[in-house]
Chain A
């Protein structure tokens, strides 16, 4: 356990180092991209637990992200200290602000998303493959419809003037935590049980592995981190609206996974990096050719070509073992899926 805490601290220290570099030596626009990469990494790793390890197919990750984003932004923008003497909320005194207010707000976002994961996970247990994809897609759409109709969070306009608490440290600290914890999960009896459910659900059940419970666990775990990513996103972009968390966002995360290799956390990281940086690079191209939609079309083409010619993604189910990573987490060498 001490070792585990040590690794987590190391991850946080790394995030802090990156924070120092980014905040002092990187101009704002590239810094924003770096931060977006961190958020994408969290999204991709957490979706990988659901879609990659457990073999479910969720297309609703943006829905969980939205819940996290709204709840945590609601905490930091709207909740105020209550003054019992004056019997009113003190508008100048936010309940969650600054260094001490942000982590609880993020956690609250994550927990709310995890609860949503539980609520989605249970009715969708009986669904497999395509049906599950459609149902989770439906969940994402319902979330955005509900948010659009909910005046307290700004309806279709969303929430604005969210404080910009999410800096590189918080983003990469969360990403490192997510990566490390997911690594621990993968290399435990629960990780094996998740994979067993993916590989052969009936055999897993006959071995006494409660497939339903494992699937829900995966949903809750993945949704929690998606919620955290949402919270970070809100406090990075300063405004959020239901349009940020549409179907396309969910698809984007799926593409990251497929590109990196479903089932591989490190693959998810690489996929997240490529698919966050590449569109930014393409944004200029898109402006030059003056065709809106060009970027997403290329994205889609990439996805289709990938499925046709290298369906296992860049890494397959293998984990990328950087030297450091290998020393810290003795990684199991897992060859890729059979074609």
Chain B
């Protein structure tokens, strides 16, 4: 079975430190894939390499048959990979609606000239972006906050808005970087449902990095476990749960 996203020997070194070592990922279209590991295991670094933020020191990343290495975040985003951030990065001074609209900017069918003279194309583009943004805000239950500045949102909603913005880029693969961080168990349960709906209703493949084992084990179909930059296990939640190396990594060597 061919993968939507595939990495071969992905390695990232910062000076003498190897943050990610020979990471091989294969994510299938339509899958809900979890990438887990203890703190400092190199998960976010993998994300940064997948989304073009970092250029890998070694190895290849291919997405839908295209090589992503060295393309940079903008072109990777245009090819259909979107992401959220562990430390939320919203555009605080824009409204909730406008934040979601910026996601749709990359597919804009209008040029600066159109916007300066307000041609028909400008108005159609605004309508298109607004439609996409409202639809996603409604999907995430944020539509009644559309006019508020993003800065004023409470924490849980900020997470959701970031997901809405990422979805507005109309990605084929959505990478979520610890979306449940700082949430209580009720919020986590809601988030789990939401992630499932993203995959089922919007038909977006999801790659999830998460600390919370319960969340990942609960919703992901396949899980890969990283420790100190190396892959130590790959399989279904049940297989991973019973893997001796995983237990050691999480509980320490004495277990």
Chain A residues at the B interface, C-beta cutoff of 8 Å: 1, 3-5, 181, 184-185, 188-193, 195-196, 198-200, 202-211, 217, 263, 317, 332, 334-335, 337-338
Contacts and interface: CB of A to CB of B under 8 A. Distances in A.
A337 B152 CA distance: 11
A198 B94 CA distance: 11
B93 A185 contact: no
Classify the secondary structure of A's interface with B. helix
B120 interface: yes
B158 interface: no
Nearest to A213: B74
A204 B118 contact: no
B115 interface: yes
Contacts of B104: 189
A317 B115 contact: no
B53 A195 contact: no
Contacts of A193: 102, 105
A272 to B, nearest CB: 21
B115 A188 contact: yes
Nearest to B122: A188
Interface string B107-139: 110101001111110100110010000000000
B151 to A, nearest CB: 7
Query: Ordered nearest first, which 8 A-B pairs have the shortest CB separation?
Result: A208-B106, A188-B115, A208-B77, A4-B118, A203-B89, A199-B91, A205-B73, A200-B89
Nearest to A191: B115
B95 interface: yes
B51 A206 contact: yes
Given A188-B126, A189-B126, A208-B169, 10 more contacts: A1-B117, A189-B110, A189-B129, A200-B90, A202-B89, A203-B91, A206-B82, A207-B165, A208-B103, A334-B93
24 contacts: A188-B126, A189-B101, A189-B104, A189-B126, A191-B115, A192-B98, A192-B105, A195-B91, A196-B102, A196-B105, A199-B94, A200-B90, A203-B89, A205-B72, A205-B74, A207-B77, A207-B106, A207-B165, A208-B103, A208-B169, A332-B95, A334-B93, A334-B149, A338-B151
A1 B118 CA distance: 5
Interface of B: 51, 53, 72-74, 77-78, 82-83, 85, 89-95, 98, 101-108, 110, 112, 115-120, 122, 125-126, 129, 149, 151, 165-166, 168-169
A258 to B, nearest CB: 17
B66 to A, nearest CB: 15
Contacts of B118: 1, 3-4, 184
Given A208-B74, A209-B74, A192 B115 contact: no
Contacts of B51: 206
B94 A192 contact: yes
Given A195-B94, A199-B91, A335-B149, A207 B105 contact: yes
B101 A192 contact: yes
Contacts of A263: 93
A199 B149 CA distance: 13
Nearest to A203: B89
Contacts of A207: 77, 82, 102-103, 105-106, 165-166, 168-169
Contacts of A204: 91, 102
B125 A189 contact: yes
B110 to A, nearest CB: 7
A170 to B, nearest CB: 20
Nearest to A201: B89
Contacts of B94: 192, 195-196, 199
Contacts of B151: 338
